[in-house]
Structure formats: C-alpha cells, structure tokens
Amino acid sequence: MKIDLVTIFPGMLEGPFKESMIKRAVDRGLVEINLIDLRSYTRDRHRQVDDTPYGGGCGMILKPEPLFEAVEDLKSKSEYERSWVLLMTPQGRRFDQQAARKLSGEKHLILICGRYEGVDERVRTALIDEEFSIGDYVLTGGELAAAVIVDAVVRLLPGFITEEAAANESFSDSFLEHPHYTRPSAFRGMEVPSVLLSGNHAEIERWRRKQSIKRTCERRPDLLEKAKLLPDEKSYLEEIMRQQN
C-alpha cells in the first residue's frame, strides 16, 4: 500500500510513522508513507497556500490550486490504477474500525489535511472520494486525524499482526475484547482470575468470550445489535442484562 499525506506541516507527521510497529511495517515494505508538503505545489514567490474567505469573515481557507495540483500529480505518479482521496474534516463521516478495514483494502490513499477554516469547497466537491472525522470535536488541523487513520489502517494490512490477534480485537466482530492480565499473578491484593492460570485452553476461551460479551454489554450495548451469538451466549447475555436491570 502507498499512502500520501498532503499537509502544510509535514514535520507534524514525522514522529508517528518513525517509531514502533508502523516504522517496522514501512521498513518491511508493507506500506510506503510519503509526507507531501502542499507548499511545493505553489507557484508564487511566497508559496501561498491560503487566502481570505469570499464574503468576509474570520480565518483563512486553503486555496484550491495547490491542492488540485498535488492530488493530480500524486495520482499521475501512482503505479496503481485507483487512488482514493480522503479529506480530514470534522464534518465528515465518523471514522471507525469498519472504515479502517475497508480502507486497508485500497492500494493508494491520499489524505488531505485541512488547516485554518478548512479547504475551498471546490476541493471537497471535485477532488475528494470520502470525508472523515475522528470525532465530534474540532482540531487545529487534519494532521493528527490523518495520523490516527493511517495507524488504524496500516495495522490491518496482511502481515502486520497475526490473523488471530486481529480477529479477537475490539470491534472486529461487534464485541469489545476481553480483559488481559500478565505477571505477577497477585499484585497489591488483586488476583488474576484462576481460570487463566489453569492451562485449560477451552475453559480460558470460554471465559474470554463471556468477558467480552459482558464488557460489550456494560460499555457499548449498541454494538450488540449486530452481534452474532451462539444460543448459550445469548442466554448469558440475557442473564447479564437481567442483572443490570
């Protein structure tokens, strides 16, 4: 996969991709991540990327010309047939694991990071395939949102983590993941559940599944609407719900 991030502050995005597992994915060739300085697509002496809004009002708007030139250039240089262009915006669809999974199937992503009051509307209507928000709050720029999206997408690429690890994760099948424990088995009077020390893998799996259902019911009951439950899991869920009421 190839990911191009278009920003006026490329320095902001250097850290997140040069550490830990994302760096390893880059080093292993699972993904190529390029930071594209929008100013390199300006033609004037001042390398101007923004201008005042028509109609007056506060703030600056990212101009259409450099953004169009950047996206057209990145698309034309891409070795892939399809490039999928994303705009970071608080007005977009809320980014979630399902969206991450879908995006991880793309070969070439171009992420546009807005700044100031945002981008000229013609960018949104003519250049963008999907608009994403990472939550109902307003950031100063799209860089952190883009870093979140890239992180969530890259870790779903085949070979990044094992299929088993990916399958058990929160949101992978409409459930939150079960709790985890590590050594020591007793810490400040808090014991690790004995089943996890039993070595009985079938029992451990059953315990984890039940914990996962319980957690989801307590914290994110909305997720359970789409969950596929076996008959005994259904009865367990009903029991938890009875206890809650």
Least distance CB 162 / ligand SAM (angstroms): 30
User: Which residues on adjacent β-strands are paired with residue 112?
Assistant: 6, 87
Alpha carbon distances (Å) from 36 to 7, 53, 233: 6, 25, 49
CB-wise, 109 or 145, nearer to ligand SAM?
145
Least distance CB 89 / ligand SAM (angstroms): 5
In this structure, what token pair is assigned to residue 183? 């050594």
CB-wise, 5 or 217, nearer to ligand SAM?
5
Least distance CB 87 / ligand SAM (angstroms): 7
Binding interface with ligand SAM (CB under 6 A)? 88-91, 113-115, 117-118, 133-135, 137-142, 145
CB-wise, 138 or 186, nearer to ligand SAM?
138
CB-wise, 138 or 202, nearer to ligand SAM?
138
Least distance CB 177 / ligand SAM (angstroms): 25
What is the CA angle 243-230-191, rounded to 5? 55
Environment class of 20 (CB within 10 Å of its CB; exposed 0-12, middle 13-18, buried 19+): exposed
CB-wise, 143 or 209, nearer to ligand SAM?
143
CB atoms within 10 A of CB 151: 15
SS3 135: coil
- CB of 17 within 8 A of CB of 26? yes
Least distance CB 10 / ligand SAM (angstroms): 15
Integer Cα distance of 197 and 178 in angstroms: 16
- CB of 224 within 8 A of CB of 238? no
- CB of 38 within 8 A of CB of 8? yes
Least distance CB 73 / ligand SAM (angstroms): 20
CB-wise, 74 or 213, nearer to ligand SAM?
74
Q: Which residue is nearest to ligand SAM (CB)?
A: 114
